[in-house]
Amino acid sequence: MSSFALVVNPVSGKGAARRAAQQAARHLRDQGLVVEIHETEGPGEATEWVRTHQEEFSAVVAIGGDGTLREVIEGLDGNRTVGLVPTGTANVVSRDLRIPRTTKKAVRILAEGHTRHLDMGTVNGRPFLAMVGVGFDGAIVKALSDVRCGPISMASYIGPGLRTFRNYQPQELRVEVDSQPLEHAIYGIIVSNTRNYGGVFSVTPGASLDDGWLDFHAQSRFGKRALLRYAMAAALRRETSRRLSSYGRGRRFSVTSDSPVAVQVDGDTFGTTPIDIELVQSRVRILVPDRRITMRTSHESNASPGN
């Protein structure tokens, strides 16, 4: 009999995660499945609980945002299965995987049992599934972390974002990709495993969770005008001008700087440079929608009414 551990971040979604866990447990138990709910008590606690209890369950399900999923994956052995019920702010990974935000639909995916092997990255030995940002976006996440008390929403970023926009002093970065230095000046870089970034935005529109690469967007200019252009391109899900940015792929990255520069990982603050990033291929086995259904749905939604 299949069994699920639901690992819940109780502050995710202003309490939505706790409600989603109760609803998910009811749906799974109605199908005769064994369910245990564990609510985390603080950052990092999910990882330790999963390391201790993972062998008791067929799958461990993260109920929360991208940070909760990252903590669960950090505790899982490579041969274990993870599930996701998204209740976070950005839900970057679930958007890439087409996992619905509706709890009932997300739970149906868990019960159906279709899996997909995803790549993941490590930054200074710690796992991530979505992205690492160094520079301006790392500074925004740090500014939010400094004033955060409890759940957040997209609106929570406005104040810290405006303050960072006014006051940020860029530092030039030294970046190596697969041991080859990027020769031009770089003032910020995002290394991403996902197409989506911060919810509806995209800074690496060609990225994929299982293509064996990490994509990067390196910012070659800095200033208020350049930042506005980066933001507009991300909102339109397009690449910026090559005069402003460079794009590429790699499997190993090194980012250093003369002075410490803020780093964010999957939307959480992660200290400062220097950092080393590496790809780990096909490391994560995750429960996902049936690809035949999602491909058909995508095709139908793109078809014109007359077809």
Residue-level pLDDT at 223? 79
Q: Provide the percentage of residues in the chain whose pLDDT is more than 90.
A: 63
Average pLDDT, the chain: 88
Residue-level pLDDT at 302? 44
The fold of the 3-114+288-302 domain, in CATH, is Rossmann fold (3.40.50)
Residue-level pLDDT at 298? 43
Q: Which residue has the higher pLDDT, 12 or 86?
A: 86
Checking if the pLDDT of 167 tops 50, the result is yes
What is the arithmetic mean of pLDDT over 17-43? 93
Name the segment(s) of the chain with CATH classification 2.60.200.40: 126-282
Checking if the pLDDT of 185 tops 50, the result is yes
What is the arithmetic mean of pLDDT over 14-32? 91
pLDDT level of residue 147 (50, 70, 90 thresholds) = low
Q: Among the listed ranges 118-122, 265-269, 279-283, 292-296, which one has the minimum average pLDDT value?
A: 292-296
What is the arithmetic mean of pLDDT over 132-149? 84
Residue-level pLDDT at 300? 41
Q: Give a three-class secondary structure readout of the chain.
A: CCEEEEEECCCHHHHHHHHHHHHHHHHHHHCCCEEEEEECCCCCHHHHHHHHHHHHCCEEEEEECHHHHHHHHHHCCCCCEEEEEECCCCCHHHHHHCCCCCHHHHHHHHHHCCEEEEEEEEECCEEECCEEEECHHHHHHHHHHHHCCCCCCHHHHHHHHHHHHHHCCCCCEEEEECCEECCCCECEEEEECCCCECCCECCCCCCCCCCCCEEEEEECCCCHHHHHHHHHHHHHCCCCCCCCEEEEEECEEEEEECCCCEEEECCEEEEECCEEEEEEEEEEEEECCCHHHHHHHHHHHHCCCCC
Residue-level pLDDT at 297? 44
Highest-confidence range of 113-122, 148-157, 222-231, by mean pLDDT?
Answer: 113-122
Name the segment(s) of the chain with CATH classification 3.40.50.10330: 3-114+288-302
pLDDT digits (tens, 9 = 90+) for 70-112: 999 999 988 899 999 999 878 899 999 999 999 999 999 999 9
Beta bridge partners of 175: 255
pLDDT level of residue 279 (50, 70, 90 thresholds) = very high
Residue-level pLDDT at 146? 67
Checking if the pLDDT of 151 tops 70, the result is no
Say what the pTM is: 0.86
Q: Among the listed ranges 197-201, 244-248, 249-253, which one has the minimum average pLDDT value?
A: 197-201
Residue-level pLDDT at 155? 61
Residue-level pLDDT at 208? 96
The CATH architecture of the domain made up of 126-282 is: Sandwich (2.60)
Q: Provide the percentage of residues in the chain whose pLDDT is more than 70.
A: 89
What is the arithmetic mean of pLDDT over 255-279? 95
Checking if the pLDDT of 293 tops 60, the result is no
Q: Which residue has the higher pLDDT, 163 or 185?
A: 185
